[in-house]
């Protein structure tokens, strides 16, 4: 297979972890006789410094003309002035909108080697394997805003069509898993949540009647993630709720450094990134965990390129490294970013030679 994968290192630890992904994807391509063209482009703070905007036209064009986009991270203290008219995070929102990626998939499952790193007791971690499907291009993040020194507002708006397309995707994913879908909402307070419930119930009754479906208030969902995380299979929710809950779920898994994500549309390239952010305190130290980015690259191989065997190889190799303590400090291991990358490459090499 020949495929173009656009790499967006971005800011903070982004360049380090995307470099790791480039090395590993190159080796995967060699093992399976593929050709991956992997050009790099600017986004976020790095793009602001170079061009004055966080999502340059050149980057936008590259993101449209590829099979998948792998993003490191955006943002950092250098660009944190709240009065600034141009901010790195605007580039991320612009990119999601330009690519039409409306569904953010964040899988969470526990590994025995990381159970000690989780704040939860081991018995609560057994059997944890769920997927959060977060609506990505609507809601309060994209609503009309008013900002002042005495009063500010952020409008949360959803249309039935926006809700329907994300629910259809979540329902199909649940049907391919254990057949359970949970809608997380705040319908006792928010009109948008009541719309979500109405649209979801209609779609499920007409198209997916076999699914096991329930609803959960977002505050109850936040508690259940810590008290009974194994109850979940697929969670579907709006933009802000999904953003917050998946960061909470990272603690369940043992480290935010290992959680990948995929942002998808109905057609066109997907956007893949670890959920941990730019981690400016680790930038330039060589201590960043590359595993979340590598697992995001595995999702890219699977969902955008259809290379399921290659994706499984990569996922299993990363998990083998974790099982054997070949990890960075956030997971209790002795390795830096480069050595952790070399550990993955060495295990891929050993497997390909077997």
Catalytic residues: 141, 186, 219, 243, 247
DSSP 148-193: -SS--EE-----HHHHHHHHHHHHHHHHTTTSEEEEEE-TTT-HHH
Distance CA 91, CA 309 (A): 33
Query: Residue 249 in 3-state DSSP?
Result: helix
* 12 bridge partner residues: none
How many Cβ atoms from other residues are within 10 Å of residue 266's Cβ? 11
Task: Give the contacts of 334 (CB within 8 A, at least 6 positions apart).
Answer: 325
CB 300 within 8 A of CB 270: yes
**Which residue in 259, 239, 230 sits closest to 247, CA to CA?**
259
**Which residue bears the tokens 């391919």?**
176
Structure tokens at 48: 């602001």
CB 28 within 8 A of CB 312: no
Distance CA 194, CA 273 (A): 31
């Amino acid at each position: 297979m020949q495929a173009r994968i656009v790499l967006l290192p971005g800011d903070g630890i982004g360049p380090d972890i995307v470099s790791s992904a480039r090395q590993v994807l190159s080796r995967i391509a060699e093992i399976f006789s593929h050709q991956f063209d992997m050009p790099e482009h600017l986004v976020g703070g790095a793009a602001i410094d170079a061009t004055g905007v966080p999502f340059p036209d050149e980057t936008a064009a590259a993101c449209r003309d590829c099979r998948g986009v792998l993003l490191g991270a955006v943002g950092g203290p250098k660009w944190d002035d709240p009065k600034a008219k141009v901010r790195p995070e605007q580039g991320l929102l612009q990119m999601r909108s330009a690519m039409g990626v409306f569904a953010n998939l964040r899988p969470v499952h526990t590994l025995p080697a990381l159970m000690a790193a989780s704040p939860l007791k081991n018995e609560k971690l057994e059997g944890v394997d769920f997927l959060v499907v977060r609506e990505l291009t609507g809601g309060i993040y994209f609503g009309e805003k008013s900002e002042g020194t005495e009063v500010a507002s952020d409008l949360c708006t959803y249309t039935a069509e926006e809700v329907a397309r994300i629910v259809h995707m979540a329902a199909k994913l649940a049907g391919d898993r254990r057949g359970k879908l949970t809608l997380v909402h705040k319908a006792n307070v928010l009109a948008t949540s009541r719309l979500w419930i109405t649209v979801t119930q209609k779609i499920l009754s007409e198209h997916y009647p076999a699914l096991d479906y329930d609803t959960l208030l977002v505050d109850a969902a936040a508690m259940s993630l810590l008290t009974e995380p194994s109850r979940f299979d697929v969670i579907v929710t709006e933009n802000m709720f999904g953003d917050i809950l998946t960061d909470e779920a990272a603690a369940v898994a043992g480290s935010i450094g290992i959680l990948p994500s995929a942002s998808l549309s109905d057609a066109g390239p997907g956007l893949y990134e670890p959920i941990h952010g730019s981690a400016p305190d680790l930038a330039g130290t060589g201590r960043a965990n590359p595993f979340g980015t590598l697992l995001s690259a595995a999702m890219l191989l699977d969902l955008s390129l259809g290379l399921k065997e290659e994706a499984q190889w990569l996922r299993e190799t990363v998990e083998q490294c974790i099982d054997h303590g070949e990890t960075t400090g956030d997971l209790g291991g002795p390795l830096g970013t480069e050595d952790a990358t070399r550990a993955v490459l060495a295990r891929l090499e050993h497997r390909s030679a077997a």
